[in-house]
Amino acid sequence: MPATKNRRIVLAARPAGEPKDENFRLEETNIPAPAEGQALLRTIYLSLDPYQRGRMNAGPSYAPPVEVGQVMEGGTVSEVLESKAAELRPGNLVVGYTGWQEYAVADGKILQRIDPTLAPISTALGVLGMPGMTAYTGLLNIGQPKAGETVVVSSAAGAVGSAAGQIAKIVGCRVVGIAGGKAKCNFVVNDLGFDACVDYHSGQFAAELKAACPQGVDVYFENVGGHVLESVVPLMNLFGRVPVCGLIAHYNATGLPPGPDGVPPLMVAILVKRLTFRGFIVSDFLQQRPEFERDMAQWLREGRVKYREDVVEGLENAVAGFQGLFRGQNFGKLLVRVGPEPGK
């Protein structure tokens, strides 16, 4: 019997600080019907990403916020159940931004077909999707790494960081990861092939990072902020580049942290060492999608880029998975399996 109800998670209230259970609500609604040009989709994988925390705030950011009562935003891989869109047929697999829910309707024009013979379909939300393209465009356009340079990547075991570091290795750089805990650091070095990885939980973090970067740091791919950034800046070389991709340490902040004020030494470092800090999001480089897909698909085929996924089972566990993201509990690209893959 086909399902008649849609389960979805909406923003119940805007969080102050860490997102708590009461900021979300699991609702049941009817499954919507597609209008002309739309398709009805069944969600298979939902992507949980740090940027979604920003969408829960009312303030302006790089995209409009999720309104209270609306479905939480998120990228998805889905199966087309019914189509009134010329581009799509039942059984097609698509990637879109249909949010934290089991069923959705969406315009065919904003959905992208996935070829399931190329790679596991979940990678359309990871290494072959938004996180992979974020790493690729930010590292190459802003970081501009050159062979022989030292590249430091924070959140090195995460979806974006793991890709950024492996791309820097392909360029010919010395690559040093930063991750939380011994297991992640071992993975980053042994599985991903980084030259070194430093545990930011270590009491000796700044000293260990310095020891891992004997030639200083030319590119710092910034995913976290906070004391990690503070430890990297003194190691930056002249004309170093800092693509600012994420700041997960600050997404739950409710006010300014106590002093001292670190802005003067940061600005003096930018001036004296002629550093470039530049923020970006993946859509700033949308026109580079074809190069990204070509290069990344080839690197995956050749085994030069590896990835790891951390899959939470069931929409009802999405909130706990998302909360764990801010405590570094995920190990690899965090996904929710909302429903089975076709034929499985």
Instruction: Using the minimum distance from each CB to a second copy, give the nearer residue, 18 or 230.
Output: 230
Binding to a second copy (CB under 8 A) within 234-253 occurs at 244-247, 249-250, 253
Instruction: Using the minimum distance from each CB to a second copy, give the nearer residue, 56 or 85.
Output: 56
Spatial separation of the C-alpha atoms in residues 193 and 186, rounded to whole Å: 10
- Total residues contacting a second copy by CB under 8 A comes to 43
Spatial separation of the C-alpha atoms in residues 15 and 319, rounded to whole Å: 13
Q: Does 303 sit near a second copy (CB under 8 A)?
A: no
User: Taking contact as CB under 8 A, which single stretch among the options 80-88, 119-127, 255-263, 336-344 is the one that binds a second copy?
Assistant: 255-263
Binding to a second copy (CB under 8 A) within 40-79 occurs at 54, 60-62
What one-character-per-residue DSSP string does 118-175 give? TS-GGGGGTTTSHHHHHHHHIIIIII---TT-EEEESSTTSHHHHHHHHHHHHHT-EE
- Of 2, 64, 214, 259, which lies in the binding site for a second copy, with binding defined by CB under 8 A? 259
Q: Could you tell me the smallest distance in angstroms from the CB atom of residue 244 to a second copy?
A: 5
Instruction: Using the minimum distance from each CB to a second copy, give the nearer residue, 141 or 186.
Output: 141
Q: Could you tell me the smallest distance in angstroms from the CB atom of residue 287 to a second copy?
A: 15
Instruction: Using the minimum distance from each CB to a second copy, give the nearer residue, 68 or 281.
Output: 281
H or E stretch at 83 = strand 76-83
Q: 236-260 b/e with 16+ CB inside 10 Å = b? A: bbeebbbbbbbbbbebeeeeeeeee
H or E stretch at 179 = strand 174-179
Q: How many CB atoms lie within 10 A of CB 64?
A: 9
Instruction: Using the minimum distance from each CB to a second copy, give the nearer residue, 146 or 274.
Output: 274
Instruction: Using the minimum distance from each CB to a second copy, give the nearer residue, 2 or 60.
Output: 60
Q: Does 261 sit near a second copy (CB under 8 A)?
A: yes
Residue in the block written with tokens 């790494």: 145
β-strand 196-199 against 174-179: which pairing, if any?
A: parallel
Report the DSSP beta bridge partners of residue 42: 79, 103
Interface residues with a second copy (CB under 8 A)? 54, 60-62, 222, 225-226, 229-230, 244-247, 249-250, 253, 255-268, 270-281, 284
